[in-house]
Structure 1
């Protein structure tokens, strides 16, 4: 599917990504040139008795979001049924037609026609959304998904920023401003259609799908479809919450700049700029921090940062003295304002770390045949949460709260929501623990991680050196692993709680507890039947001298009757002597910082073997060979 590349920017030189990226970029820019210019025109240049300036932004925003609620379900079906490249080309042709009407509306100052075009551009974006996110996993490998999503998120927010700046500058030109906007919108639409033409074919994932044209019944069906995979569905809720959170800040920037920071309209644009830059940086950092995997351990880190800097923004912006409206240069000359800008930048950066892995997770784990419909369900939920955000923020402001107090309330609410999500989906919390362990406690290197399968059942076999072996393997794998683990480990404080959260399967020796032994293998077989991965440590316990112990026969019971099941030998290196391993006296975790922070450890993954060719002795020889190779 894909060739290796050094980083996510190299995707911009490849046909499978670059035309799609620029099509998305130009579409997002055009949306915002059109909407922002139209909003400013109604607010500052026209006197309409039936559309007051203070209501213009709300009306335009509501009209744009409405198609997401009405037509997302239909657009998801279309994206699953048809070739995605062809569908994107048709949608961009529709954009040209809409912009022809909009150009006439700007030229003749026909506000009803422009309002109709707002709705139609919302429809355009509704049609494009599911196909956009369903296209990426067809063209990018698992190792490229996080970087590809990061590039798209970065590009989208840069396009939003540039589009709003361009729309504001063009419409402000005396007399001919609306004419210039009309020309710019048409040019951007034509350029978007031209780049879409170069998008490579992306075949249908469900060509026999029968379209249900009833948006209400199909919306309900999409939500039920998404709910079948709980990790995916709760990720949809997590993304929708991010849009709720972000909409509170974005919608209040103009009033925040004017009433709290005492700035000019240009200061409001500055706030939008730093917010967009923060999102872009956070989105691009995801690939580097995740080591080119779908790393959902970044999500809790993002949630923590979002709350910390939203709360600090309240303290940074409370009690600022009244002043004449600041220009941008005067605003930047006040030292206290730099803290506000830093909070907004970092808040947005952590929002990028929060959202990109969730999008990648949905794309990776949703069934390909109805992936676009899952994305459509996400768009529906996003729209509902954004509407709820406007209502909630309006209610708080109407109750007499200040804008900084609203930011504080949302920051605290984010911490509560994040805590709840991580409790009901412990995989996020576990991957965060694994992320911290492999970045701060150890320098973790994985050799041949491409041999870990991204789909289908498999048995992983590994040496057992420390109490955190399972955590390290979690960090290495792009998907969840169910571990067969000694029942005694569940009695260890913190680690036992963590492994219960990970749904590790307790196993006891057959001679001492035959019921637990049989129940463990029955549970592991059920996991394999569901197409998931199981890991077993065949030594039966932690090594007491650092050497590989004889492999027991439990692995043969696990793969019994499955001759084609892939069995993957792995070896953890350089963990012996660390805090979590035993020492010569037989005890572990007795001397903190035994080897200091950031000591080197490794995981080497061998090529998969069919279960029919596996013996305990052969697997032991394979793992020993991996250890010898690393030692050499």
Structure 2
């Protein structure tokens, strides 16, 4: 089934912010922004009201935040699977408008609860707002790949992630300020929540239609069997499922920090409530900044090579946060204006040692943004459109479970006598272990990271014509062979994973050989030398094309020794003939790597490579020219050679 696509005729806008001027994205963005702000305004105002303003014997202040948080997250466990089915079955815009209508109804009841000070009514509304967010979750992430192209998906996800955290921040701040207004606080909160719900519904009216991807789906209303079915569905695609686990781990990681900010501010930093709020601001700004940086760092592709970079930063700066907290001066030097032995906001910022703490928080959250956005984009891109929303629903279920686990584990560690900084340290170390485990299970992340580093920090890599690389389906990428890192650069240029057919001798090169084995490159030996290995290579190549993946070959058969394009061998014709016999349509995409001859990894020194590390200095400018795809039926070695030669000669 082909997916309905609402992408504009042109997606060459300068950056992700330009999406805010387009109807397919802007109304949706502001609708989800208003919803996230309303959730948090309501929850935080309610928490403050129960904690400071009302005396409820059956809900002690110390338990209020826990109970409210648990009620809000419970629907994610119970109803996410149902929400995923409904999103796949119905038009997503219709679903969004239904959810916004539900929000207005909930806020009308909540307004009465605030006005009368009825805690049971507000607890019911907390659960219902959790239902509202549960229904909206699959819609939010299933809508984006339906209206954005692959080149826009990272930027669009970055905008949504940034908008969500800014909305959370503004909602918390507004909720705290409004509920504290003398005499009119409860009424002000009620009006603000209702106004945000109405604004969200008006904005939703402008979202263009996004047709159902599986309208014939029969909804299973049993949440328990459907939850299990969704998890099994997600498990069917190993890369997607392990990415779901990676995102859920990020929520575990973030929940540990967010839940401990009040205690960290009070007991470790010796700051007042304003300092605790500052930690939330710094964390939210960091997440938003990292999310927005993804598009810039990914060259507007879904670049999962950023995920290992994000994981490294999360561990490094959470571990450094522990040492920064240990190095704080004793609280005897409190500044003027401190009350009850705690720093005011000004006094806290006046201490130089506190700036290292702020920097660690900002950077670990920034790297968390780099970590999460490409994973979300990958899941959207690799999930089948017909059940994409159910995959997102499975992700929401796992997120909720991981967040509950984070609360239980952090509570157990603190109960065992660990300090908050020690919990942060253990979380950072655990993040390194979990990340390493995920990247070994899904080596594509690590491979893309190596390619990303090579194309930005070893070379200045410029790609022209990358739109000619097919976004879906089988294809053969045919490129000249100049150096030992040609395959790494092709990986960096393609938004999709590539299987390489490579000379078996390259697997004997230290480090690079291990890397290519990790990439599941296919070794090929000359037929006269090893006929069995020769045939096995072509069998593996045929399997790659049957599975609808990209196969890359270097038709010269080896790395050039003089910098000139060598004659192409006939292996590509054999691959194409077999593909045609099996009914597989595999276009051939000609490619030309430029300016690599003479670099460290080419055979410039008497046929030897990697002998003079800085022969051309650092950050050499190299390029890749990609030409229009050729039909497999029209490809000959000589014709393909001419196409690649033309690309090499292009200015």
The two structures share one fold, judged by TM-score above 0.5:
yes
Matches within 5 A, 1:203-602: 203-320=211-328, 321-322=330-331, 323=334, 324-563=341-580, 564-602=585-623
- Of the structure 1 ranges 88-97 and 575-584, higher mean CA displacement relative to structure 2 is found in 575-584
Q: Cα deviation per residue 1:481-523 (whole Å; 9 max; x = unaligned)?
A: 0000111111111000000000000100111111111001101
Q: Secondary structure at the match of 1:461?
A: strand
Work out whether 1:619 is the aligned partner of 2:603.
no
- Of the structure 1 ranges 515-524 and 319-328, higher mean CA displacement relative to structure 2 is found in 319-328
Q: After TM superposition, give the deviation of residue 23 of structure 1 in Å.
A: 0.3
- Give runs of ≥4 in structure 1 deviating > 6 Å: none
Matches within 5 A, 1:191-210: 191-210=199-218
Q: Secondary structure at the match of 2:208?
A: coil
Rounded to whole Å, the distance in 2 between the matches of 1:271 and 1:279 is: 12
Rounded to whole Å, the distance in 2 between the matches of 1:257 and 1:183 is: 32
Q: After TM superposition, give the deviation of residue 597 of structure 1 in Å.
A: 1.3
Q: Structure 2 unaligned runs (5+)?
A: 1-6, 335-340
Matches within 5 A, 1:15-34: 15-34=23-42
Rounded to whole Å, the distance in 2 between the matches of 1:228 and 1:616 is: 39
Q: Secondary structure at the match of 1:604?
A: strand
Q: After TM superposition, give the deviation of residue 176 of structure 1 in Å.
A: 1.4
Rounded to whole Å, the distance in 2 between the matches of 1:615 and 1:399 is: 71
Q: After TM superposition, give the deviation of residue 335 of structure 1 in Å.
A: 0.6
Q: After TM superposition, give the deviation of residue 453 of structure 1 in Å.
A: 1.1
Q: After TM superposition, give the deviation of residue 561 of structure 1 in Å.
A: 4.4
Asked if the contact 1:242–1:355 (Cα under 8 Å) also holds between the matched residues in 2, the reply is: yes
Q: Cα deviation per residue 1:73-129 (whole Å; 9 max; x = unaligned)?
A: 000000111100111011000000000000000000010010010000001000000
Q: After TM superposition, give the deviation of residue 565 of structure 1 in Å.
A: 1.9
Rounded to whole Å, the distance in 2 between the matches of 1:581 and 1:392 is: 52
Rounded to whole Å, the distance in 2 between the matches of 1:195 and 1:274 is: 29
Q: Secondary structure at the match of 1:545?
A: coil
Work out whether 1:73 is the aligned partner of 2:94.
no
Work out whether 1:123 is the aligned partner of 2:131.
yes
Rounded to whole Å, the distance in 2 between the matches of 1:560 and 1:366 is: 31
Q: Cα deviation per residue 1:367-398 (whole Å; 9 max; x = unaligned)?
A: 01100000000000000000000000000000
Rounded to whole Å, the distance in 2 between the matches of 1:309 and 1:504 is: 35
Work out whether 1:97 is the aligned partner of 2:105.
yes
Query: What is the TM-score with the length of structure 2 in the denominator?
Result: 0.96
Q: Secondary structure at the match of 2:477?
A: strand
Q: After TM superposition, give the deviation of residue 319 of structure 1 in Å.
A: 5.0
Q: Structure 1 unaligned runs (5+)?
A: none
Asked if the contact 1:60–1:115 (Cα under 8 Å) also holds between the matched residues in 2, the reply is: yes
Q: Secondary structure at the match of 2:650?
A: helix
Work out whether 1:140 is the aligned partner of 2:148.
yes
Q: May I ask how many residue pairs the two structures share in their alignment?
A: 630
Asked if the contact 1:545–1:584 (Cα under 8 Å) also holds between the matched residues in 2, the reply is: no
- Of the structure 1 ranges 31-40 and 221-230, higher mean CA displacement relative to structure 2 is found in 221-230
Rounded to whole Å, the distance in 2 between the matches of 1:614 and 1:13 is: 44
Q: After TM superposition, give the deviation of residue 153 of structure 1 in Å.
A: 0.4
Rounded to whole Å, the distance in 2 between the matches of 1:192 and 1:178 is: 21
Asked if the contact 2:327–2:353 (Cα under 8 Å) also holds between the matched residues in 1, the reply is: no
Q: Secondary structure at the match of 1:525?
A: helix
Rounded to whole Å, the distance in 2 between the matches of 1:68 and 1:87 is: 17
Rounded to whole Å, the distance in 2 between the matches of 1:524 and 1:66 is: 48
Taking only aligned residues, the RMSD between alpha carbons, in angstroms, comes to: 0.8
Rounded to whole Å, the distance in 1 between the matches of 2:484 and 2:605 is: 16
Asked if the contact 1:43–1:54 (Cα under 8 Å) also holds between the matched residues in 2, the reply is: yes
Rounded to whole Å, the distance in 2 between the matches of 1:524 and 1:376 is: 35
Q: Secondary structure at the match of 1:585?
A: coil
Q: Secondary structure at the match of 2:42?
A: helix
Partner of 1:56: 64
Asked if the contact 1:562–1:612 (Cα under 8 Å) also holds between the matched residues in 2, the reply is: no
Asked if the contact 1:95–1:124 (Cα under 8 Å) also holds between the matched residues in 2, the reply is: yes
Partner of 2:626: 605
Rounded to whole Å, the distance in 1 between the matches of 2:622 and 2:152 is: 25
Asked if the contact 2:545–2:579 (Cα under 8 Å) also holds between the matched residues in 1, the reply is: no
Q: Cα deviation per residue 1:286-328 (whole Å; 9 max; x = unaligned)?
A: 0000000000000000000000100011111125313521111
User: 80, 88, 92: which one pairs with 2:96?
Assistant: 88
Asked if the contact 1:544–1:584 (Cα under 8 Å) also holds between the matched residues in 2, the reply is: no
Q: After TM superposition, give the deviation of residue 562 of structure 1 in Å.
A: 3.8
Asked if the contact 1:130–1:373 (Cα under 8 Å) also holds between the matched residues in 2, the reply is: yes
Q: Cα deviation per residue 1:18-56 (whole Å; 9 max; x = unaligned)?
A: 000000100000000000000000011111110010110
Q: Secondary structure at the match of 2:110?
A: helix
Q: After TM superposition, give the deviation of residue 175 of structure 1 in Å.
A: 1.9
Q: Cα deviation per residue 1:310-350 (whole Å; 9 max; x = unaligned)?
A: 00111111253135211111110111111111100001000
Q: Cα deviation per residue 1:144-196 (whole Å; 9 max; x = unaligned)?
A: 00000000000000000000000000001112101100000000000000101
Rounded to whole Å, the distance in 2 between the matches of 1:318 and 1:26 is: 39
Q: Secondary structure at the match of 1:392?
A: helix
